A and B are shown apart, each in its own frame.
Chain A
C-alpha cells in the first residue's frame, strides 16, 4: 500500500521563530544567497507574516509557514514541465522536483499557486568551511535550475535503507520525520501518512479547525493548516497579497 505523506501546521502555535527555515536549509544544502531580493532567494520553507489589516487593539497577526503543498490532483507544476522533471511520486505522494533534469524555464514557478518554487540564480557558494558540513544525502543544485521542498527525501532514503537491513519493506515512521517538523520548538508542524487511517494526522485533518489554501483550484494539497481563529481560516481562499509581509532568514 503506497503512502501519502502530509502535514498539519498549527498556526495558533507558530511563533514565527524561523527554526523550520533554518533546519530546512541545513538539511537540504540550501546555500545562503546574500545577493537575493525577496523574489530571488531560496526558501523551500518560508514563514510569512499576515495581518487582519486592523489598527491598534483590532490588529491581529499570524505567521504562516509556506512550503510545497504536495498537491495530489491536477498538480499544477507537473503538467507544465516540458522536461518531465516534476512528478507525483507513486509510492509516497511526494511531488518531487528533479533538478538534474530541469532546464530552468520556470514554467512551474509561474504555475504554482503557492509560490513555493525557487530558482537558482547563482551557483551555490558556501561560507568557508561549510562545504564540509553539507548533507551527503542531498545533491547540491547548480545555477539555472528550480528547486523546492522534496519532503526531506534523504530522510526517507535512510529510513528505507534501515528497514531493508532487517529485510523489511515498511519503514518505521519514527525514522522518517522532515527537518522542519523536528526543529519546530512548539510542535506546530505535524507530519504523517494520510493514507494510514490510524495515523493521528488522518484524524487531525478532519477537525473543523483544519483547512487548506486555495482548495477551489481542486489540487488537493497534502499540507493542511489549522487555526481556531475565524479570520485566519478565512485567509484560505483569499487572493489578495495585502497585509502580507515576507520574513527572510
Chain B
C-alpha cells in the first residue's frame, strides 16, 4: 500500500516522458535539403536586395514560391565561388538543367488555398510574420516530416504543446484564424479551402 504513490509518480513520469519527449521524436522524420543554400550569403554578396527578385509574383497574382533553376543559372552558370554546395548546384542541377527538389517547410495540405498576393501585396504583411526571419538566415534548416499526416512540422509548430513563443510558430487553421480575428478579417470556409 505504501508503494502506491511511488508507483503512481513513476508511472506519471514515464507517461509524460513518452508523451512529451519520445513521441515527437518518433513522429517526425528528418530530411535534409538538397543544397546548403544560404540566404545571408546572397543578401551580402549577390547584390540582390529584394526577396521578390527570387520569390516573385506573376502578373496574374500567383506566387512563384521557391525560384526555379533558371534564376540561379543567371549567376551560377559556371562556378563563381569555392564552396562544395555551389559545386553541387552547378554539377547536379544547373548543367543537367534539372530543378532542385526543395522541401517546402510551409507547405499546406492540398485542400488549403493560401494567396500570397492578398497578404503581401494587398495587406502589406512582412514575410517574417509567417515565416520567421528565415529569409535572412545563414543556414538551411532540417525539414521534419510528420509520419502520420505527411505534412511538414511547421504546420503544427515546433512545440508539441502548441504553446507558441512567437506568432509564426505553427500554421494550423486556428493560427490563420487567430491573425484574421486580430485584424478583423472575415473569411468563409471556401475562402481558405479548395
Residue numbers in B under 8 Å from A162 (CB-CB): 60-61, 117
Question: B residues 139-194 with Cβ under 8 Å of A?
Answer: 186, 188-191, 193-194
Is A150 part of the binding interface, using a Cβ–Cβ cutoff of 8 Å? yes
Count the B residues whose beta carbon is within 8 Å of the partner chain — how many?
Answer: 20
Q: Mostly helix, strand, loop or mixed at chain B's interface? A: loop
In the assembled complex, which residues on chain A have CB atoms less than 8 Å from the CB atom of B189? 87, 89, 96, 98, 101
List B residues 89-128 near A (Cβ within 8 Å): 110-111, 113, 115, 117-118, 121-122
The interface residues of chain B lying within 8 Å CB-to-CB of A157 are 113, 115, 194
Contact B190 A89 (CB under 8 A): yes
Which residues, 110 to 159 on A, are CB-close (under 8 Å) to B? 137-140, 150, 153-154, 157-158
B30 within 8 A of partner (CB): no
A167 to B122, Cβ gap below 8 A?
yes
CB-CB under 8 A for A164 and B190, given A139-B110, A158-B60: no
Q: Tell me if B121 and A167 are in contact (CB < 8 A).
A: yes
Could you mark each residue 78-107 of chain A with 1 if its beta carbon is under 8 Å from any beta carbon of chain B, else 0? 000000000101111010101111000000
Q: Which of A160-187 contact B (CB under 8 A)?
A: 160-169
Query: Are B122's CB and A154's CB within 8 A?
Result: no
For chain A, the count of residues having a C-beta within 8 Å of the partner chain is 30
Q: What distance in Å separates the Cβ of A117 from its nearest Cβ neighbour in chain B?
A: 16
- The contact string, 1 if C-beta is below 8 Å from chain A, for chain B 67-91, is 0000000000000000000000000
A interface SS class: loop
Question: Which interface residue of A138, A150, A160 has the most chain B CB atoms within 10 A?
Answer: A160
Known A-B contacts A161-B61, A164-B122, A165-B121; A150 and B190 likewise in contact (beta carbons under 8 Å): yes
Mind listing 25 A-B residue pairs with CB under 8 Å?
A87-B188, A89-B189, A90-B186, A91-B188, A92-B190, A96-B189, A100-B111, A138-B194, A139-B111, A140-B110, A150-B190, A157-B113, A157-B194, A158-B62, A160-B118, A161-B61, A161-B118, A162-B60, A162-B61, A165-B60, A165-B121, A165-B122, A166-B121, A167-B121, A167-B122
Not counting A98-B189, A137-B113, A158-B60, a sample of 5 additional A-B residue pairs whose C-beta atoms are within 8 angstroms of each other reads: A89-B188, A91-B191, A98-B193, A150-B190, A161-B60
> Which residues of B are in contact with A by a Cβ distance under 8 Å?
57, 59-62, 110-111, 113, 115, 117-118, 121-122, 186, 188-191, 193-194
